[in-house]
Structure 1
Amino acid sequence: MITRTLLVGVLALGLAACASETDAPASETGDVSVAGSFEDAPAVPAGTYTIDASHSRAEFRVKHLGISTVTGRFDGVNGTVTVTDGLGSLATTATIDASTISTGNDQRDGHLQSPDFFDVAQYPEITFTSTGVRPGEGSAFTLLGDLTMHGVTRPVELAAEYVGSSSMMGTPKVGFTATGEITRQDFGLTWAETNEAGEALVGDTVTLMIEVEADGAAAEAPADTTVAE
């Protein structure tokens, strides 16, 4: 029972890295790009793309006792990516179904969904809304945005990269990755149980890993200009 409780706490706090303190202000920059140059950035096809949940993922990692890493994921990632004029114009919104949390243990996942942790019945969604981008080197950039979970919003920065574009059966596709580190104590996640030696069970640093594949509008088939005889 103790082992189960400790592991649940580890995973909950890791996932809650996507959360924020209730009294922490959201970003006030608005949905704008940050000053800088994207001159060396690769071209990104303009359009509004819908995130493909079956080829996208949101994961988290957190240390347990400082000697191992616990990994979990959310499967229900949805949203849009909009590009109007190159990588510097990128804007995105994403929604995660909190009930899709998966840690490889059904009993643990059920506990994480309960009011003890995510309370998915009352707070079914985790959301991210971008507020700007900052240029990096080549296809790399910093994605700024507001992350909301359990009714709480906090600004975050993610190290992102444009992976490239492709197409399948006439549907254009783009790919992105993003990673970030959050200190859970900054989000009011102060669960601080220790083992018998006084060592913290849960690390303060939580790593977030996101991969997104998004679909644009399929090309329209050419009109049939055949004249009936």
Structure 2
Amino acid sequence: MPRLLPITLLAAAALGSVAVAQMPTEKPGAMDVSRVTGGTYQADPNHTLVGWRVDHLGFSDYFGLFGDVTGTLTLDPAHPAAAKVDVTIPIAPVVASQGLHDHLLRPGKDGGKPDFFGPSPQPARFVSTSVSPSVDGLGAYIVGDLTLNGHTRPVAIQARFTGAGSMMGKETVGFSGRALIKRSDFGITTGIPLVSDEVELDLTAAFERTAGEPEPAAEPPANACRADKANAWFGKKATPEVRAAVQAATGAKSIRWLYPDSVVTMDYRSDRLNVTMEKGTDVIRSARCG
């Protein structure tokens, strides 16, 4: 056995050298939207995570992660507002302590309701209903339906493009995002208000597609509200005069003047114009039909 040890170490070192040699010498991803190719991407379950945080009794925070996310992202660089995302998130918390892990998945006592999710919770699912790109082209305000614990509610995500490139034959795009939900909206009420109702979500996502796959033919999004006619007022304050000018230029049958955190109905109408403004300044940032 002692004679075999040096041979084993040499073999391990050789395999390690081969692995290092196969690694890229530079980061394959860069925050360059020109690298993004249109098509349908698959979520990379190993590198897509949903972080969550809640206040615990005013002393400290509970926080952890959901991983193994699956789903799709459909992109058309020429029409970013037509992007669609549909992801499924297993409810299997990754947390720092075994005690907290057990607490989140604990069954109900004596036939009662579970503390939080219960021992065998169904996965959560988020399906986008609208995407509003930011003025700089690097961010987006994504609204969609989140189904969690048997309840479906609208949720808004402030997303940011973080990189694109190719890695091991797969085109990859990455994003980060933040959202705020109330767990009581999803029937999870244990400990409120001692454990905060509001839950901060911190998202990081990677989506992959095999390089060289043909791009699907993309249909331009419906523009019955003529949202493009509102571009001239981006960066200007939505005064009554500006609002009247936008109405006259677009001819939209109805206009909603919204802040990023506005709660609105999810019914899509191609002839309705949604104008997003900065909260506190009313400066117009984007416009879309919906």
Q: Which bin holds the TM-score, normalised by the shorter protein?
A: 0.5 to 0.7
Aligned residue number for residue 96 of structure 1: 89
1:188 to 1:169, Cα distance in 2 relative to 1, 3 A: closer
Aligned pairs for 1:103-114 (under 5 A) are 103-114=95-106
In the aligned structure 2, how far is the partner of 1:61 from the partner of 1:91?
A: 26
Look up the match of 1:209.
202
Instruction: Compute the displacement of 1:207 (Å).
Output: 0.5
Cα contact 2:38–2:74 (8 A) shared by 1: yes
- Is 1:218 matched with 2:211? yes
The residue identity in structure 1 corresponding to 2:196 is: G
Distance 1:191 1:170, change over 3 A: closer
CA distance in 2, matches of 1:110, 1:66: 21
AA aligned opposite 1:66: G
In the TM superposition, what are the counterparts of 1:1-229 in structure 2 within 5 Å?
Answer: 42-43=33-34, 44-84=36-76, 85-98=78-91, 100-115=92-107, 116=114, 117-121=116-120, 123-138=121-136, 139-192=138-191, 200-219=193-212
- Matched with 1:27 is none
1:67 to partner: Cα distance? 4.1
Higher percent of residues as strand: 1
Q: CA deviation at 1:166?
A: 0.9
**SS in structure 2 at match of 1:109:** helix
Deviation at 1:125, TM superposition (A): 0.9
Q: How far 1:129 moved relative to its partner?
A: 0.7
Question: Does the 8 Å CA contact 1:142/1:157 hold for their aligned counterparts?
Answer: yes
**Cα distance, 1:186 vs structure 2:** 4.1
Identity score, percent: 35
Amino acid at match of 1:109: H
Deviations 1:92-148 (A, max 9, x none): 1111111x2122222432332233121352x33111111111122321110111101
Deviation at 1:201, TM superposition (A): 2.2
Number of residue-to-residue matches in the alignment = 172
TM-score of the aligned structures, taking structure 2 as reference length: 0.54
Return the TM-score normalized by structure 1.
Answer: 0.67
CA distance in 1, matches of 2:61, 2:106: 23
**Paired residues of 1:160 and 1:178 also in contact (CA < 8 A):** yes
Return 5+ residue gaps in structure 2 as ranges: 1-31, 108-113, 214-290
Look up the equivalent residue of 2:83 and give its one-letter code: L
SS at match of 2:196: strand
The answer as to whether partners of 1:97 and 1:126 remain within 8 angstroms in 2 is yes
CA contact (8 A) 1:91 1:131 kept: yes
Q: Whole-Å Cα distance in 2 between the matches of residues 110 and 70 of structure 1?
A: 13
